[in-house]
Structure 1
Amino acid sequence: MKIKAQISMVLNLDKCLGCHTCSITCKNTWTNREGAEYMYFNNVETRPGVGYPKNWENQEKWKGGWSLDKSGHLALATGSKTNRLMKLFYHPEQPELTDYFEPWTYDYETLIHSGRKNNQPVARPRSLVTKQKMEVTWGPNWDDDLAGGEHARADVNLKKMGDHIVFDYEEVFMRYLPRLCNHCLNPACVAACPSGAIYKRDEDGVVLVSQDVCRGWRHCVPSCPYKKIFYNWETNKAEKCVFCYPRLENGLPQICAETCVGRMRYVGVVLYDMDKVEEMASTVNEQDIYEHTVDLLLDPNNPAVIDAAREAGISEAWLKAAQKSPVYKLVKEWKVALPLHPEYRTLPMVWYIPPLSPILQRVTSDVYLPDAHEMRVPVQYLANMFTAGNVETLSNTLQRILDMREYMRRRETNDEPIAHDVDLTEKQMYAMYKLLALSKYNDRFVIPTDIDMSQEGRQHMQHNRGFACPTGGCK
């Protein structure tokens, strides 16, 4: 057993307002420079919809992530190393600028320097890439709040459901989906990079791109199934979400989590067994990958896990953070958080609590809340996003959240206990309620700092970064 620590995040979709504050603060912090205008390390998509870039979930077109070859081993969906090298100068699965949008500004000088005329001068859009005049036909969040329109009908997850979804007014449903790099345990971008510029930090699992090593081959862009790696057309380098690692090293959450108006993001440490990553990602039935990913996460209160973690050089500060982690509770203990498209086999470490509302009210008055299958957001649609189409797993997740809500209602009104069997104890449901509804800053963000790291742990991490181990005990 080789234990590693991973900084992870959970997003509660029931509390997302779609205000895009996270996108704005992320962009102002990390991508406010030339060549990065179209980059949104964090973006919020309206669902159903095509997302950003357009139809990024259509892996038949993009061939991102991993697949199993004929012998049952993991292989990049973009092809073998030889096939990828043959696509070096022409890559048919490479997203184009039109799949994102062509950055533009407006010709404000026309307004400022225009002389006296009979007609009002107009500031027309001008491309930031070609510097030529252009017509704006697409942009970030172009389909924002248009879940009943033509863009929604192109949603890949809806196409998998058949024809029984009707886009009449009373049948329309809409939710928001914030997205960022998942900092996966089995990242396809790392394996696809010919230069070895993309790497996963040993100390916290953050996936980064070395700007000095990157040669701009762009194999990482199509290989990422979530399309969260971007190509800077000015520097000719790949860029991506860095999980705000300078903030993490100082005990602060990511800027998107810090500024979230809905307080729907939770950040914490999880421990996992690195030796089992390949085995779990190679699961034959893609609907079982979620359960196997959860099995990878280790109990930070288990004495055997604690001893193995200490032996691996994980400091006491990180162990304490893992024991208090809200992510571990939501993902492993209560099982209410799910990964986005686990069938891509990258084992993502950004998790989502699926939304309940808007819900359909029952006619009968003796029941407070509907069952999971009576949600206005179709369970099959959510299952296509979070459980590789496994409706039962998704329904069980929603039912746990519904049970918690019903338990709190009955607790406040002193009614009889919940009639049906529940997966969680009353103590667990109350703890879940406090974390999801009443949690304070220090409850949502449990992040260790390098300052708190023991000297021995720091030495081991320095060795893992390429320095000589002063103690001689590093392996």
Structure 2
Amino acid sequence: MDVRAQIVMVFNLDKCIGCHTCSISCKNIWTDRKGAEYMWWNNVETKPGVGYPRHWENQERFKGGWVVDGKSLKLKAMGKGPTLLNMFFQPNLPKIEEYYEPFDFDYGNLAGAKAGDDQPTARAFSQISGKPIEEIQGGPNWDDDLSGSQIYAAQDPNLQEKQVIDSYASMFMQYLPRICNHCLNPACAASCPSRAIYKRGEDGIVLVDQEVCKGWRFCTSACPYKKVYFNWDSGKAEKCIFCYPRVEGGQCNACAHSCVGRIRYVGVLLYDADGVEGAALKGDAELVQAHRNLILDPRDPAVRAAAKKNGISERWLDAAEKSPVYTLVKEFGLALPLHPEFRTVPMAYYIPSLSPVLSTWGDTHKLLEHGMIPALETLRVPVGYLASILSGGNREVIEEALKKLIALRVFMRSANLKKESDSAALAEAGLDAAAAKRLYRLFTLASYDERNVIPPQQREEQDPERRKQQGGFGILKKTGRGR
């Protein structure tokens, strides 16, 4: 058992209001410079939709992530031979149009234009070429709130039941915030010929060494989530750094700190690095359970002893015990990985969304026949759609999580109205009253320190050689690309 520590983020999709405050705070801090105009390390997408960059989920087009090759894994994009042949040309890269050509407006013309008969205007111009753009064709959230549009929603590869967007009565929409997943088996690191991308041993954050990066852009192709960007000015790869300067001081990420809906939880997970490759080799329907099996109980004496042997401090072990992430991912099984079938073993998890609760009674509510709180089989967001995004197509995993969320709503509504609660509904979902109250507090009343349990780094306690060794494991050890 090779115990490692990973800093992890969980997103509650039921609470995201799509305000993009997280994206703006990230943009202002990390990518407000030349060459990074189109980089959105944190972005919020409207689902169903094509996402950002457009169609990033279509790995037949972009060849990202890993595929199972017999009893081992291989990069979907290319092996060592094709990597050498394509060193100066990347056939699977998103084009700038699939992001958007970064633009600004010539505001100086409004004040500096010569006197004339016409009102001066601020024309759009490309921040890359400097040339005028006659018609803007895209932006970072171009399809924001257009979930009913046949142009965007119908092209979502997860939407198997196309008829649900054909009528107003069956349309649905949710927001999907995304950052780099800081995966346990990162395809970006394995694909880099320069070995510029590495995974930190002390907290699992995946970073790009700007001094080593040669700008080959294999990492952009290999990342199935398209969260590695190319700085066209510096010629270097850049990506979300999980706000490590903040995290090292025990503060949460800028996106989580600024989140209006308080949908984000940040904490520590302990996992068995020896099992990462085996977990990624599982069939699509088994991947979620394989993810959970990797996560270790921080209260287990054997786990704590192995963790200390690997240099994990007592402070980090205590944080792992109090981690809201462990509660949501492992203990209650509510938070699920984003597209586990890409086999990067992502370390960002999502609590699936529910249909809205009816606020009033009336004849205009079509869902009234199903009660104030809709039943699982009548939810507006199709279970198959959520399964395609969060469980590799495993509907049972999604249904288990949704049953717990629905039972929690029913239980707390009865409690708030001082009615007799239905303990049978909780029991059927695998919960009891104490568990329901814990989850209710975590979802609604939890303070900053309860939602974000981040131990500050004690780098003086870390063995430099051990930190370096801990960066590579699983498939990265075999390829020699771990740091």
- TM-score tier by shorter-chain length is over 0.9
1:29 aligns with 2:29: yes
Q: Secondary structure at the match of 1:25?
A: helix
The answer for the alignment partner of 2:431 in structure 1 is 424
Would you say 1:325 and 2:329 are equivalent positions? no
What's the TM-score, normalizing by structure 1?
A: 0.93
Q: In 2, distance between residues paired with 1:374 and 1:461?
A: 55
Counting matched residue pairs gives 458
Mapped contact 2:165–2:172 kept (Cα < 8 A): no
Instruction: Between 112-121 and 243-252, report the one with greater CA deviation.
Output: 112-121
Structure 2 gaps of 5+ residues are 359-365, 471-483
- 1:332-343 counterparts in 2 under 5 A? 332-343=330-341
Q: Partner of 1:438 in structure 2?
A: 445
- Please report how far the alpha carbon of residue 368 of structure 1 lies from its aligned counterpart in structure 2 after TM superposition: 5.0
Q: 2:463 aligns with which of 444, 460, 465?
A: 460
- For residues 104 and 422 of structure 1, the distance between their equivalents in structure 2, rounded to whole angstroms, comes to 50
What is residue 153 of structure 1 aligned with on the other side? 154
Structure 2 residue aligned with 1:402: 406
Fraction of identical pairs, as percent: 50
Q: 2: distance between equivalents of 1:143 and 1:417? A: 42
Deviations 1:153-206 (A, max 9, x none): 111111xx1443242222211111100000001100010000000000000000
1:396-427: CA deviation from partner (whole Å, max 9, x where unpaired): 11111111111212233231424342212221
TM-score of the superposition, structure 2-length normalised? 0.92
In structure 2, C-alpha distance between the alignment counterparts of 1:354 and 1:463, rounded to whole Å = 37
Q: Amino acid of the residue matched to residue 379 of structure 2? A: M
Relative to structure 2, which stretch is displaced further, 179-188 or 407-416?
407-416
Structure 1 counterpart of 2:193? 194
Q: Do the aligned partners of 2:357 and 2:372 also contact (CA within 8 Å) in 1? A: no
Contact 2:182–2:346 under 8 Å retained in 1: yes
Where does residue 266 of structure 1 map in the other structure? 265
* 1:1-40 aligned within 5 A: 1-40=1-40
Counterpart mapping for 1:29-108 below 5 A: 29-69=29-69, 71-108=70-107
CA contact (8 A) 1:44 1:177 kept: yes
Residues 362 and 171 of structure 1: CA distance in aligned 2, closer, same or farther (over 3 Å): closer
Q: CA deviation at 1:108?
A: 2.3
SS in 2 for 1:141: coil
Name which of structure 1's ranges 48-57 and 350-359 shifts more when overlaid on structure 2.
350-359
- After superposition, the Cα gap between the structure-2 partners of 1:376 and 1:162, relative to the gap in structure 1 and judged at 3 Å, is closer
Superposed CA RMSD? 1.7
The separation in 2 between residues aligned to 1:364 and 1:129, in whole angstroms, is 55
Q: Distance in 2 between matches of 1:115 and 1:63?
A: 52
For residue 470 of structure 1, what is the aligned residue in structure 2?
Answer: none
Answer yes or no: is the 8 Å Cα contact 1:313–1:461 preserved in 2.
no
Mapping of 1:159-174 within 5 angstroms? Answer: 161-174=160-173
Q: Amino acid of the residue matched to residue 183 of structure 1?
A: H
How many Å apart are 1:465 and its aligned residue? Answer: 3.5
Q: State the SS of the aligned residue for 1:252.
A: coil
Q: Tell me if structure 1 keeps the 8 A contact 2:423–2:432.
A: no
Q: Establish whether residue 218 from structure 1 lines up as the match of residue 223 from structure 2.
A: no
Partner of 1:207: 206
DSSP 3-state at the match of 1:14:
coil
> 1:105·1:128 contact (CA, 8 Å) conserved in 2?
yes
User: How big is the shift at 1:133?
Assistant: 1.1
Secondary structure, counterpart of 1:7 in structure 2: strand
The whole-number CA distance in structure 2 between the counterparts of 1:459 and 1:206 is 16
SS of the counterpart of 2:164?
A: coil
Encode CA deviations 1:61-112: one digit per residue, 9 max, x unaligned.
Answer: 001000011x231000002111122122222211111110111111223222
SS of 1:292's equivalent?
helix
Q: Distance in 2 between matches of 1:428 and 1:406?
A: 14
Distance in 2 (alpha carbons) for counterparts of 1:99 and 1:338: 27
User: Secondary structure of the residue that 1:126 maps to in structure 2?
Assistant: strand
Question: 3-state SS of the aligned residue for 1:225?
Answer: coil
Alpha-carbon distance in structure 2 between the residues aligned to 1:336 and 1:434: 15
